[in-house]
Amino acid sequence: MKIIMLGAPGAGKGTQAKMIADKYSVPHISTGDIFRANIKNGTELGMEAKKYMDQGQLVPDELTVKILLDRVANDDCKNGYVLDGFPRTIPQAEVLDEALAKLGDSIDYAIDVDVPDENIVNRMSGRRACVACGATYHIVHIPPKTEGICDRCGKELILRDDDKPETVLNRLKIYHDQTQPLIDFYTAKGILKTVDGTQDMKDVFAAITAILD
């Protein structure tokens, strides 16, 4: 079972990817995590990626796919995996498809966690993070016991720049320009499944498992 998670920043696709990975005993593969692991372990691919990252450039699609294929060749991926954060663009999806096809493989499902922009802005601007220990809260869904104070360490909670409405709107614009076309790409392949991401987290997960089961 090879799955790609799609959805705007803040749609909750990362949380759902982890839950899928746990339920079906397959790895949750985030491109950010595998880049960091390769760099930390000093692999040849990791060092090549680091050159681009150190210059503030995007890692080329071909190199990203090489690192990804290297990861999915591990034994823990033999029953499948959940990809989170890749592909982000049509060219990346095409490179991934070609590389998998050479291995006689393909993606089974692309799951789109669909949430309107307005909901995402409200959801993310309600997030608060602890300046000291990094614990995260939400003023509506997971409020701290004392407003503005971390339950865990008692330090101040802040609204991170990433979560400010203007930043979120900018990230959503990039998403719609670059990643939204993947919806059509995977629809044409007949593997796109859309779930309503505005529901409670457990209900979103139930909708996903109904598709996968």
pLDDT tens-digit series, residues 148-195: 999 999 999 999 888 899 989 988 998 898 888 999 999 999 999 999
* Three-state secondary-structure class, residue 191: coil
Whether residue 152 lies in the annotated active site: no
End-to-end CA distance of the chain: 11
Options 18, 50, 164, 171, the catalytic residue: 171
Q: What band does 126 get if pLDDT is binned at 50, 70 and 90?
A: very high
Domain ranges of the chain: 2-27+74-115+172-212
For 195-207, what is each residue's pLDDT tens digit?
999 999 999 999 9
Is 13 a residue of the active site? yes
**Contact (CB, 8 A) for 28 and 17:** yes
Known catalytic residue: 88?
A: yes
Model pLDDT for residues 53-71, shown as the tens digit of each residue? 888 888 888 899 999 999 9
Q: How far apart are CA 37 and CA 40, in angstroms?
A: 5
Burial class (CB in 10 A: 0-12, 13-18, 19+), 120: buried
Strands (E), the chain: 2-6, 28-30, 81-84, 109-114, 127-130, 136-138, 157-158, 192-196
Owner of token pair 């000291």: 132
Which is the catalytic residue, given 2, 13, 123, 128? 13
Say which of 71, 88, 123, 128 is annotated catalytic.
88
Scanning the structure block, which residue is given the tokens 């990094």? 134
β-bridge pairing 127-130 and 136-138: antiparallel
Structure token pair of residue 21: 């990975």
Known catalytic membership, residue 160: yes
Dihedrals phi, psi of 82, to nearest 5 degrees: -120, 115
pLDDT band (50, 70, 90) for residue 24: very high
3-state secondary structure of 146: strand
What would the CATH number be for the domain defined by 2-27+74-115+172-212?
Answer: 3.40.50.300
Model confidence at 145, pLDDT cuts 50, 70, 90, reads: very high
Is 128 noted as a catalytic residue in this protein? no
Catalytic choice (50, 160, 164, 193): 160
Residue 122: closest CA among 204, 10, 5, 16? 10
Each residue's pLDDT tens digit, 98-111: 999 998 999 999 99
